[in-house]
């Protein structure tokens, strides 16, 4: 895939996440904390989950970019493992439940609406990193939260993290739909996969 087109798409997807998360800044606290059942996340928990991943991935990506020695290329061909992880995070019509790591699970954590602003700031930082990545190769490796031994290409890492964010934006919409079943929610734009 053309590197510039991929990075442009990723920036647009970050903007989409910001616009969707921002919509909830002024919801009543009861609506933000409402959950469908004991094991389901509320809106604040969905957002906090994104923040916890951001705390890991933003510094990891920034470090990889700062230490990069490879020049940018016109095309990016992701690795098979990176493509698998990125595609596994894509939002689907019916979201399949996925297990999350204990340290990334915010269930029953006391949260307030400030997590929304943290998420927005993290998305802005992600867009800055995407812009900075135009000066380096997307082939450089980034550590993952799965294992320090597992490193994905920068281009795959961006797609994995942003697809993960899009997935949880859909989860937030589903929480809202459960609160008011007759209220229709806009869908995210049709996604083309991990860009390969």
Query: Residue 84 belongs to a domain with what CATH number?
Result: 1.20.120.450
Tokens of 180: 């008011």
Q: What pLDDT sits at residue 188?
A: 44
Q: What pLDDT sits at residue 10?
A: 98
Which residues form the domain of 20?
3-179
195: left (phi over 0), alpha (psi -120 to 50) or beta: left
Q: Which of 54, 21, 42 is nearest to 160 (CA)?
A: 54
What's phi and psi for 153, nearest 5 deg? -60, 150
First-residue to last-residue Cα distance in the chain? 6
State the pLDDT confidence band at 108, using cuts at 50, 70 and 90: confident
In a domain, 171, yes or no: yes
Q: Which of 66, 67, 64, 71 is nearest to 161 (CA)?
A: 64
**What is the domain count for the chain?**
1
In a domain, 192, yes or no: no
Q: Choose the weakest-confidence range: 6-20, 72-86, 144-158, 173-187.
A: 173-187
Q: What pLDDT sits at residue 79?
A: 92
Provide mean pLDDT across the span 74-102. Answer: 79
What's phi and psi for 193, nearest 5 deg? 95, -165
Q: Choose the weakest-confidence range: 143-152, 169-178, 187-196.
A: 187-196
Q: What is the DSSP letter of 2?
A: B
In a domain, 45, yes or no: yes
In a domain, 190, yes or no: no
> Do 32 and 132 contact (CB within 8 A), yes or no?
no
Q: What angle do CA 93, 58, 16 make, to 5 degrees?
A: 40
For the cut 60, the answer to whether the pLDDT of residue 184 exceeds it is no
In tens, the pLDDT along 113-152 reads: 999 999 999 999 999 999 999 999 999 999 888 767 789 9
């Amino acid at each position: 895939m053309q590197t510039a087109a991929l990075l442009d798409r990723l920036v647009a997807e970050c903007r989409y996440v910001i616009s969707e998360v921002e919509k909830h800044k002024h919801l009543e606290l009861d609506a933000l904390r409402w959950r469908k059942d004991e094991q389901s996340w509320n809106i604040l928990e969905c957002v906090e989950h994104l923040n916890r991943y951001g705390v890991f991935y933003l510094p990891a990506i920034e470090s990889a970019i700062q230490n990069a020695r490879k020049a940018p290329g016109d095309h990016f061909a992701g690795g098979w493992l990176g493509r698998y992880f990125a595609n596994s995070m894509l939002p689907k019509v019916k979201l399949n439940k996925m297990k999350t790591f204990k340290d990334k699970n915010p269930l029953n954590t006391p949260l307030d609406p400030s997590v929304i602003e943290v998420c927005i700031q993290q998305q802005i930082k992600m867009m800055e990193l995407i812009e900075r990545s135009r000066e380096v190769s997307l082939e450089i490796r980034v550590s993952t939260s799965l294992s320090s031994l597992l490193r994905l290409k920068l281009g795959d890492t961006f797609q994995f993290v942003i697809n993960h964010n899009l997935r949880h934006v859909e989860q937030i919409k589903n929480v809202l739909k459960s609160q008011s079943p007759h209220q229709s929610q806009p869908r995210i734009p049709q996604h083309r996969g991990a860009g390969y």
